[in-house]
Chain A
Amino acid sequence: MTDFLKIQNVRKTFPGVVALDDVSFSVAPGEIHTLLGENGAGKSTLMNVLTGLYHPDRGQISVAGEPIHFTSPRDSLACGIGMVHQHFMLVPAHSVFENILLALDNVPNFYSKKKYKEKIQKLIDEFDLDLDLDIPVWKLSIGAQQWIELIKLLMRDCQLLILDEPTAVLTPQEAERLFNVLRKLKEQGKSIIFISHKMREVMEISDRVTILKKGCSIATRTRGDFDESTLASLMIGKDKIPQWQKNLQMSDEIVLDIQNLSVRNDRGLSDLDDFNLQLKKGEILGIAGVAGNGQKALAEVLTGLKNTSQGKIMAGEEDITNSNARYSYIAGIAHIPEDRKTIGIAPDMSVDENLIMKSFKSGSFRNWIFQNKKAIRRNAEEKIEQFAIKSGPDGTPVRYLSGGNIQKVIIARELSEHPAVLVALYPTRGLDIGSAGYVHKVIADGADRGMSTILIAEDLDELLKLSDRIAVMFRGKLIGYVDPRKTTREEIGLMMSGEKGSLPDLP
């Protein structure tokens, strides 16, 4: 059978970055083809090329044997290629129905609401999904939103479905349901490109696997011709992950005690609901949970970006829920924010100026009301050296740095004051293996000095490797703690879908 999609030697660069170097692979009808690669290997860029969002600089894409040049998402859709993006392409304020309707071709301008609702409902029933067409999308769970994305593509009769890490937002049980739907689609002769870095899923569902590394497709393996360890070694290559010895010096002193905390989001729903958490001195406390279950709100409360509607936060003996005390306390907490560019840095300002963002008022950086430019420069030189930041010429605005270097700027700034508490959100997201290992080392070294860390991450492996304890969140509540040395992935998986864990209290 001829391949539905064939990609040859595609290359795409952005100013200063080679996102894709040389990628080739193909997908046949009725095949589930997995793209496997570390963060930053170029998977997302490749997908954006396939969906017509980016123009490749070089290379050939053919669909059903015909060479194709996409200039917009419209062209790609017209060829029957549809994608479920990692960041959903939904309009939150619109109803489920309107979101699906938006994606349909050939809808007359004056459409019959009834007719289209029936059509969509039929498809929903066929795959046995549970969706109310009339509620606004923002009220739905992330898992349900993903179903909308899938229905959009099915309604358009797409022949090739691209799913970008679809299970990152699902519980293991929901993921199983998704796989059943995918298998059904496969039987109908659809092609599926599945992107993931979770090895077990890849093993379970793939017909073929192509490994991406640093923007190149380095190997393609057919089912039966691969196992977890060969894929892992292909994916990681010869890069060594820096390892370290965990010093178990956790004391029972509680540095941060969150009691019955509730936070409402902008739309009046609860992000955190009667949430409790205790952080001990010198520990790395991992937070596990499917994305969108309150992790972000937790970090925002601790970073002062959100106010609480109920509950208490105690730092030692002191109640810091009250905002003034909280602000001063927060200034002493180190944070590695999730979204580096939106809250971590002042993008138009230089590295020097970004490095003092939290300590600009301290005596070492000012003379009376004036800034001490010399001291600021000296501090920057030190940090750039110590954290190996590639910062470009003096005065370069931070926005021009690469993701890894921006992350280093943030970490350098946050850890330079030897904080007692660190809140780290997805600190290695989007980093190459080297930088990620470096970040792990910095966090572990901090713990050795007595720093307590709340580590929020999506990768269970990362959590299991680093944490002293793992707390699992579900729908804004704490489900329980587990001990990473004794737990299993299955146990955490169950807890992530709301089942009580084995260690409801402190271990």
Chain B
Amino acid sequence: MVEILLDATVRAGTPILFATLGAIINERAGIINLGIEGLMLIGALAGFAGTYLTGSLLLGVLFAFAASFLAGSIHALITVQLRGNQIVSGLALTMFGVGITALFGKGMVGLTIVGFKRVAIPGLSQLPLIGRPFFNQDLLIYFSFLLVFVIWFFFYRTRWGLGVRSVGENPAAADTCGFSVSTYRFFAVTIGSGLVGIGGAYLSLASTPMWIENMTAGRGWIAVALVIFAGWSSPRAMLGAYLFGGITAMQLRFQAMGTTISAHVLQMLPYFFTILVLVISTQRIQKGASQQPEGLGLPYDREDRK
């Protein structure tokens, strides 16, 4: 029973995990991206279409990454190169994503593909309790485990990572040290957006292998909130995504058990929960237990520093 619930937790949390990781990379470089919801939809549709057309799940994931990378580059261009308002640009990206996927996804509604299958890791998958949820999953979930570590390593053990963190904290300092603020920010936004797209593709390739208009249902916004919960750290993002996944799994379980509580009320739970988490994690920032990148949301103009 607990094992099944844990399994459902991981599966429900994974799309959010990808999206949160992508958003963290954006924000670490100092760019707020409120287009996560739109990027997830773009990734979901591109992933589904890619797999449907080529028959390859791997190509589908690549399509998802590439499409969101491109869509993210609009946000990057506007906020980094043109120093536009990050909040408005992100909202525009979400609207654009919702609209364009509805338009191009019209022909995809009702089609089916074979989604990602579970691949058991010999030995480990036999472990009690954690075997099934963590070692008998599909490849994208294993990839997400790897990604959590890779992103941590990237930020704290590589020079590029140091550069990304620095342009997010104090772009003027990074600039005087010879790091190109706009290049670092541009690629942090686009690559981060690409990962968000993979999160969307998880929905259309693994969770429910089909395309449904607006199938993200606010998960992108939950990811935006989880970035704050995660304190901009990838391991904590995993925790946050699975906490959310757990709530979703339990809510589905309640519904399946046929409670008298209205399904609509149960569906509100994840949103309530996210607001609650947001309030608590904001207090952590206030107390100094977690740090928001200091340059977050601020455009950088070299001649305008004072």
Direct A/B contact, Cβ within 8 angstroms: yes
Task: Enumerate chain A interface residues (CB-CB to B < 8 A).
Answer: 51, 53-54, 72-74, 77-78, 83, 85, 89-94, 98-99, 101-103, 105, 107-111, 113, 152, 266-268
Tell me the interface secondary structure of chain B in the complex.
helix
Let me know if A91 and B170 touch, CB within 8 A. yes
Is B303 within 8 A of A94, CB to CB?
no
Whether A92 contacts B170 in the complex (CB less than 8 A), given A53-B303, A102-B177, A267-B288, comes out as yes
How far, in angstroms, from A108 to B177 measured CA to CA in the complex?
15
Nearest residue, chain A, Cβ from B170:
A91
Q: CB-defined interface of B265-297 with A at 8 Å, one 1/0 digit per residue?
A: 000000000000000000000011001011000
Task: Find the A residue at minimum CB distance from B293.
Answer: A93
List the B side residues contacting A77 at CB < 8 Å. Answer: 176-178
Contacts of A109 in B (CB 8 A): 158-160
List the B side residues contacting A51 at CB < 8 Å: 176
Taking CB atoms, residues of chain A closer than 8 Å to B170 are 89-92
Please measure, in the bound complex, the distance between the C-alpha atom of A151 and the C-alpha atom of B186, giving whole angstroms: 30
Say whether chain A's binding surface is mostly helix, strand, loop, or mixed.
loop
Interface with A: B111-119, B161-169, B201-209, B218-226, which one? B161-169
Bound together, the chains give a CA A92 to CA B291 distance in angstroms of 11
Whether B302 sits at the interface, judged by CB under 8 Å, is yes
Known: A107-B159, A110-B157, A268-B288. Is A92-B174 also a contact (CB below 8 A)?
Answer: no
B contact residues, total (Cβ < 8 Å): 27
The CA of A94 and the CA of B166, in the complex, are separated in Å by: 8
Contacts of B165 in A (CB 8 A): 91, 94
Residues of B within 8 A of A99 (CB): 173
Residue B172 is within 8 A (CB to CB) of chain A in the complex: yes
State in angstroms the CA–CA spacing of A92 and B172 once bound together.
12
Q: How far is it, in angstroms, between the C-alpha of A9 and the C-alpha of B163 when the chains are bound?
A: 36
With contacts A53-B302, A83-B176, A105-B178 known, what are 18 further pairs, Cβ within 8 A?
A: A53-B176, A72-B302, A73-B175, A73-B177, A77-B176, A90-B170, A91-B165, A91-B166, A91-B173, A93-B169, A94-B169, A102-B163, A102-B174, A103-B177, A109-B159, A110-B158, A111-B158, A267-B288
Q: How far is the CB of B173 from chain A (nearest CB, A)?
A: 4
Q: Are the CB atoms of A89 and B158 closer together than 8 Å? A: no
Nearest A residue to B165, CB-CB: A94
Please, which residues of chain A bring their CB within 8 A of the CB of B305?
Answer: 53
5 sample A-B contacts, Cβ–Cβ < 8 Å, listed by A number: A77-B176, A93-B291, A98-B162, A101-B159, A110-B158
The reply on B187 being an interface residue by CB < 8 A is no
In the complex where A53-B302, A108-B159, A109-B159 touch, is A93 in contact with B176 (Cβ < 8 A)? no
Q: Does B179 contact A (CB under 8 A)?
A: yes
